[in-house]
A and B are shown apart, each in its own frame.
Chain A
């Protein structure tokens, strides 16, 4: 069970059960929806960007433990980060979950996802929210309706 223990670490289970920043953001100016047709995981990322910095970020959706925890921990990590820092983090995170490199220090709590690299079919679960975040950043800035 060691690979499994690595995958389902306490912190991941905790965030999957009690996701943080799990809400719509009423003053978000960027939003995108992500969907993994293979497993039906859905995630929406709400982002408030000010001068290239993340003022606030949240998510909604439904998915497996890995995708929910990934979204929760991502939103926690990214508050206050610049777009440049986000780009680096995503690259490091992607390398981590695909087993290309071990955790860098700036990943912080996100390092718990290293276990995903032993489960190639689950990489998409961990990265869905990141891809959705990228789409949100690229989306036209506007007031996102939360109706």
Chain B
């Protein structure tokens, strides 16, 4: 297998220099978790691809909601219900602006990316995918962007097709082009790979699919926290992300869909809030976005997500991306000097994620030793078993950076990896 070394990546000069406007030490004070000690050592949190830490403002917003505004939404004339509804709907508008969606009714609150993808599979998929049709995904998808399509295809007698990747972990666009055909009903691809760190050229992918009049769902679980996303510029049909990976609470996620497309789909779950009128003979469904939001949602979570978006906007995603890029470059440079260490995922366009294996050491043993140093990394298959199979490794260790991480923390990581190698010499 040809794997480009970190040195060569750096030599290609794609990284910018350290952004002087990001005051990381100050930023870290906004995150109470960094006061935590792990086995008496400072926490070095490098598992941001799994979930991100929460700033105090997000925590406060949740507390504020439950202590001051708590009530159900969209159903009471009383003041608290009005306040709660207003705060929740205001959060929807914040998400709309964050993604630059044309209208707020295109923003559907869900539980997570996982639920967003299942929603599309069960509505768009059920309506449009038939026997003999094809759904196209990529070889670097998270299980949540594989299994819902597998379930749909099995039910419908349709075929799941997979766009292959090269040894650097980049999509093969010429293969993608060949896979698109008149039977293709949907393309579902990840924007930023959680296992490899690859940034996919989603705009190009969408353009190519649209030539076949095929809609595209983009899994933005990782991308939302690291890249600027403009759904209108991308012209994507569906875009999904989870609040908890964007410094917000768990249990809230977003599905963006183009209004016309969403309007044409059947509802997902039935229940309260998603109806206009119900008799035992017939139910008339509510308008967007409520048609897809059955039952009492995660109100505090939605409001918290809005506050997380405020926080990110205050720093600015372009500043965040520039800083993280520099940090990723530094980490890549430091790690690639370590003997026996090999990166999995060496795409030209990368963000946040450094997946690696150490020859002769299983990822779990790496994880245990790093943990003893207070370092949190993810080890395992990262819910992307097909990626592990593609690179013929049982598991990798993955460090994923966010804007609150520092060069010092990378140095701690490097030192701890040397310790791993020392133990397993």
Residues of A in contact with B (beta carbons under 8 Å apart):
1, 3-4, 7-8, 13, 17, 38-42, 62-66, 68, 119, 121-122, 125
Contacts and interface: CB of A to CB of B under 8 A. Distances in A.
A40 B394 contact: yes
Contact of B381 (A13, A40, A66, A119): A40
B144 to A, nearest CB: 16
A4 B380 contact: no
A64 B380 contact: no
B365 interface: yes
A121 B376 CA distance: 14
Contacts of B424: 8, 13, 65
B423 interface: yes
Please tell me the size bucket of the interface on B. 10 to 19
Contact of B395 (A8, A40, A122): A40
Given A3-B372, A8-B423, A39 B379 contact: yes
Interface stretch (B26-34, B73-81, B149-157, B356-364): B356-364
Interface string B316-332: 00000000000000000
B176 to A, nearest CB: 28
A72 to B, nearest CB: 14
A119 B368 contact: yes
Given A64-B362, A64-B365, A4 B423 contact: yes
Given A40-B394, A40-B395, A66 B423 contact: no
Contact of A40 (B365, B369, B380, B419): B380
Interface string B370-395: 00100000011100010010000011
A69 to B, nearest CB: 11
A122 B363 CA distance: 12
18 contacts: A4-B368, A4-B369, A7-B368, A8-B365, A8-B424, A13-B423, A39-B364, A39-B395, A40-B385, A40-B394, A40-B395, A42-B394, A62-B394, A64-B363, A65-B361, A66-B365, A122-B364, A125-B364
Contacts, number: 48
B302 to A, nearest CB: 31
B361 A1 contact: no
Contacts of B394: 40-42, 62-63
A17 B362 CA distance: 11
B392 to A, nearest CB: 11
A7 to B, nearest CB: 7
Contacts of B395: 39-40
Given A65-B365, A68-B362, 14 more contacts: A1-B372, A1-B419, A3-B372, A4-B372, A8-B424, A17-B360, A38-B380, A39-B379, A39-B395, A41-B394, A42-B394, A62-B394, A64-B362, A66-B364
Contacts of B363: 39, 64
Q: Specify which of A39, A66, A122 lies most central, judged by the most chain B CB atoms within 10 Å of its CB.
A: A39
A122 B368 contact: yes
A76 B395 CA distance: 27
Given A17-B360, A62-B394, A65-B362, A40 B388 contact: yes
Question: Closest 3 A-B residue pairs measured CB to CB?
Answer: A64-B362, A64-B364, A40-B394
Q: Specify which of B368, B419, B423 lies most central, judged by the most chain A CB atoms within 10 Å of its CB.
A: B368
A63 B372 contact: no
Contacts of B364: 39, 41, 64, 66, 122, 125
Q: Specify which of B361, B364, B381, B423 lies most central, judged by the most chain A CB atoms within 10 Å of its CB.
A: B364
Nearest to B379: A39
Nearest to B369: A4
Contacts of A41: 364, 394
A98 B380 CA distance: 22
Contacts of B369: 4
Contacts of A42: 394
Nearest to A4: B372
A62 B363 CA distance: 12
Contacts of A125: 364
Nearest to B385: A40
A31 B372 CA distance: 37
A65 B367 CA distance: 12
Interface string B200-239: 0000000000000000000000000000000000000000
